[in-house]
Chains A and B, each alone.
Chain A
Amino acid sequence: MKTLRTTLLAAGLAGCLALPSLAADKVVLRDGSVLTGDILEQTDSYIRIRITVGTVVKTEIVFMGDVADIEHDATGGDTGGGDADEDANTGDSNGPAVSGGVSIEDQTPKASSQNPGVLLLPLKGGVGLYIRDNEIREVAKEADRLREERGIAPVIVLQIESGGGAMHEMYEIHEALMELKQRFRIVAWIKEAISAACATALHCDEIYFMSEGTAGAMTGWYGPGISLQGEERENWLRDAGEWARAGGRSPHVAVAMIGNEFELSYDKDPVTGKVTWYNNLSGEHVLSRRGQNLVLTSSQALHCGFADGVADTPEQLAKAMQLPEWYEVSDFGRKLSAEWHDLIEKGLKEIPKAYGMLTVWQNSGLDEVQRISKMIREWEKLLRWWEDAPGLCESGEVQIHLKEDIQRQIEGLQRQIGEIRRRGG
């Protein structure tokens, strides 16, 4: 991500060369650089701003994690500070945007009406924390924009590597995918799709596995290790079966991935390749016996038709998908995913660290006002995490007070300082 931030910094500094505009929005980045232009889109995750560099008009995406301030319709004019002028001639303002590990500008653009291109979204990590419907919807918006710009919508590739996660998020993702697959070709490319991640993949009309890919084990369960029971279980079996059907797959496969009492086998016509599924062991190929839960490997998935192909590289995937070549029309999805990942990883460390520092200041020998001020600062850090990453704070992955409780703590400490000062302390 250092590369990303550097690039955005370069873009930001370059943006300070923008010709003065009569009225313009201004985005101030945390590093002090400023982008001036027209904000085309602003979401909780990012801002899309159109800037002019010299005579070149370009669109930049800035993620909220890097934004310090936004001014709408700020007057233009001299947009550069001293630093901007110093750096005005450094770097290449028209240089390539570098995504997380992929420089898509290195690709020879061969987009044509025959090649819709690909918009890849890595779905890596726990569902509910790292994987959310938010990112899927944002990518769809980008796909809409690309369709308008290029006249053809890209294929959305969900590159899945996850051991599963929260069921409630799964239903949010379900809503998003059922809506979006009406408008886009959405493909799952599986390295690991366990549990809720498999349920995500099921929605896709096309599924491709990497050689090492696995998918299945969709049993719903509660924290202490208790599986869903009764009506909840029945509802999940029904829903998962319907999602499988919506993706063109047998619901028998989905239920065998949920309950260990379900058997699953199939016959495959040697001439036509047609697969006939059985919820018993009468088929020639047995996938799941009583007492087992179903997880498919790549060869199993390919043979039974659950997967449409096996591909280990983007080039192989393009071929399997019958695209002329692998061409990523935008690295938006990769950046979006990487940015969110980085934020989560940071929070998993910074939040416990803030609590550690609260203890340090609690026990310190500083004068009262200083001590309380430092504690307020740590509580404010925790409050910012609720604003920057509410999903992380709600996930249970990290221990953090509720937002209201943090606000109460801050207010209480501020009152203490007020009283001390009134006493003349």
Chain B
Amino acid sequence: MTMHHHVACRYLTLGLSAAALGVLAVPVTSPVEAAPAPATVSPHADTEDIVYMNDGRELHGRVVSEDAQTVVFEIIDRELGLSTEIRLYRNQIYKIERNVAIAGSATETTETSTTEGEAAGAASETASPEEEENYDPSIPSLYIVPLVGQLGTDIYHEVYEPIIDDIIEKNPTCIVFAMECDATQWKDFTELEEYRILVTNFRNRLPRDIRQVMWIDNSVGTSSVIALSWAEIYMKPDARLDGLDWVHTNTAGWQDADVRAKMQAAFSGIAKGFLEFGGHDLELGEAMMFPQHSLSATFRGRKVDWALHEEGEVIADHDDEATVGFNAEDARNLLISTETVDGNYDTATGLDDLAFILGYREYRRANGMAEDYLKEYREDWREAFEIASRRLQDFQEARARADLASNAEARQAIGEVARYMSKYYAVERMIGRDFGLQLYQIEVILKGLQEQARQLREREQGRDRGRGNGGGGPGIPGGGG
């Protein structure tokens, strides 16, 4: 994609002090009731509450009252000795820390102090399991959830169920979804309804005060709608957000204009449902799915209005033969992503930059199960699939030979295939796709082999009734696609 108009990079302002009373910078979407006249505040309280806002601001003071939707917060400026109350909406808050010792107060403990050097942006070391019990719970924690590999096998909603439970137990400050999916390497299963379950599970079953961000290493294919389900997106410098042209490819072949329009609207509508989650413009999704659309962006402050024409301030796509995709720089400049951040979630310091950008001067890993569990799962099911594929070949070869030993071999081989398919849905799925074989069909094959064995035994015992050619039953259908 070629940028036709340079847009200055925009950065989040982090950790703004709320010291300037009456000049609070509040997001447009966060209605704030008028503050009453500032009151004086005693400088002698030892603890305070700290509200961390989604836009990076830190508000120091005390929670006056709260309900399901809002928090009334008294901002206290101890230097000036003044305070004022504001009403904050919970969807703008990502964390509240209560009764935090104030620096220099009698109740301050050394464990919570932060040196200037540390405040400059370094991050804590990754906590080893042995150190867990000594960690400071007030330090923000990051829980990594890898979304790595092939959609529909590596990434499938049932696989992530235990992770959701673990997240609830660990109660991290922030979940980082680390996405690395490339449909050109591993062909997606494009059943959007399945990924809808995955996304809604993370959205609806986790506490709302846990921040969730998407960090894209690469996203080419159906994974891009999953990525766009999150509002806060970060991309690595070489990442792409692309690959939704399959919606057009899969629907363009309908000859009837009405049916074609129906199918395109239906599939793109379901895909755009994901963008609704993330608050992304539907026109953006439309242009990523259908090549005939142009796409341009017009900036209204921090908001971007997308349009399917070229009259906006910035033309993002003017090629009517290809869909639009985004590299990291363009995504950042067009405010699709929040920032470009390099790093690797699976190294000791690989999260440092991301944590800094997220506004965490210090952080710790939440020591969640997701990384190891998912890595092991990916390795295990792929190994099982390789074995199952080999055993299918063994089955075919053995089955062609009409003797008892080969029959036993064939039964054993196909039995093993069935066991792997039963154990891993991913294996069942891949066997279904690559070999056109379903689990229930294996039951019939096994029955046929048993019947064949019976006949072979009778033949050997000289009691052949001269019927049929072994009753081996149906074979494996022609390979699927």
Q: Which residues of A contact B (CB under 8 A)?
A: 161, 163, 191-192, 194-195, 210-214, 216-219, 221, 225-227, 258-260, 291-300, 312-313, 349-350, 352-353, 356-357, 359-361, 363-367
B467 at interface (Cβ–Cβ under 8 A)? yes
B269: contacting residue among A161, A296, A366, CB under 8 A: A296
B165 at interface (Cβ–Cβ under 8 A)? no
B409 at interface (Cβ–Cβ under 8 A)? no
Total cross-chain contacts (CB, 8 A): 148
**A residues in contact with B451, CB < 8 Å:** 360-361, 363-366
Contact digits for B243-267, partner A, Cβ 8 Å, 1 yes 0 no: 0000000000011111101111110
Given A212-B200, A353-B443, A359-B474; A219-B269 close (CB under 8 Å): no
**A residues in contact with B454, CB < 8 Å:** 364-365
Within 8 A of A (CB), among B188-227: 193, 196, 199-200, 203-204
Given A312-B204, A356-B473; A297-B269 close (CB under 8 Å): yes
B204: contacting residue among A195, A313, A356, CB under 8 A: A313
- Complex Cα distance, B266 from A218, in Å, reads 9
Contact A225 B254 (CB under 8 A): yes
Query: For B254, B261, B438, which residue has the most chain A Cβ atoms within 10 angstroms?
Result: B261
B444 at interface (Cβ–Cβ under 8 A)? yes
Contact B471 A221 (CB under 8 A): no
Contact A297 B273 (CB under 8 A): yes
- Complex Cα distance, B454 from A353, in Å, reads 21
A260: contacting residue among B257, B275, B276, CB under 8 A: B257
Contact B269 A360 (CB under 8 A): no
B465 at interface (Cβ–Cβ under 8 A)? yes
Contact digits for B168-203, partner A, Cβ 8 Å, 1 yes 0 no: 000000000000000000000000010010011001
B277 at interface (Cβ–Cβ under 8 A)? yes
Given A211-B277, A212-B277, A363-B469; A295-B265 close (CB under 8 Å): yes
Contact A357 B447 (CB under 8 A): yes
Given A214-B270, A217-B269; A293-B262 close (CB under 8 Å): yes
Query: In the assembled complex, how far is the CB of residue B456 from the closest CB belonging to chain A, in whole angstroms?
Result: 9
Contact B473 A214 (CB under 8 A): no
- Complex Cα distance, B265 from A356, in Å, reads 39
Given A293-B258, A359-B474; A299-B268 close (CB under 8 Å): no
- Complex Cα distance, B254 from A30, in Å, reads 48
A363: contacting residue among B255, B266, B458, B470, CB under 8 A: B470
Contact A214 B257 (CB under 8 A): no
B441 at interface (Cβ–Cβ under 8 A)? yes
**A residues in contact with B204, CB < 8 Å:** 312-313
Contact A293 B256 (CB under 8 A): no
- Complex Cα distance, B203 from A210, in Å, reads 12
Query: In the assembled complex, how far is the CB of residue B305 from the closest CB belonging to chain A, in whole angstroms?
Result: 13
Contact digits for B456-481, partner A, Cβ 8 Å, 1 yes 0 no: 00100000110111111110000000
Given A192-B193, A225-B254; A353-B464 close (CB under 8 Å): no
- Complex Cα distance, B454 from A364, in Å, reads 9
A194: contacting residue among B269, B272, B472, CB under 8 A: B269
Given A217-B269, A297-B282, A365-B451; A291-B465 close (CB under 8 Å): no
- Complex Cα distance, B194 from A192, in Å, reads 13
Query: In the assembled complex, how far is the CB of residue B156 from the closest CB belonging to chain A, in whole angstroms?
Result: 18
Contact A212 B274 (CB under 8 A): yes
- Complex Cα distance, B470 from A291, in Å, reads 58
**A residues in contact with B261, CB < 8 Å:** 219, 260, 291-293
**A residues in contact with B474, CB < 8 Å:** 356, 359-360
- Complex Cα distance, B447 from A211, in Å, reads 48
Contact A295 B268 (CB under 8 A): yes
Complex A-B, nearest 4 residue pairs according to Cβ-Cβ distance, in ascending order: A295-B269, A356-B444, A212-B273, A227-B258
23 contacts between A and B (CB under 8 A): A194-B266, A194-B270, A212-B196, A212-B273, A214-B273, A217-B263, A217-B265, A217-B269, A221-B258, A225-B259, A258-B258, A291-B257, A293-B261, A295-B269, A297-B276, A350-B440, A360-B447, A360-B473, A363-B448, A364-B471, A365-B455, A365-B467, A365-B471
**B residues in contact with A217, CB < 8 Å:** 262-263, 265-266, 269
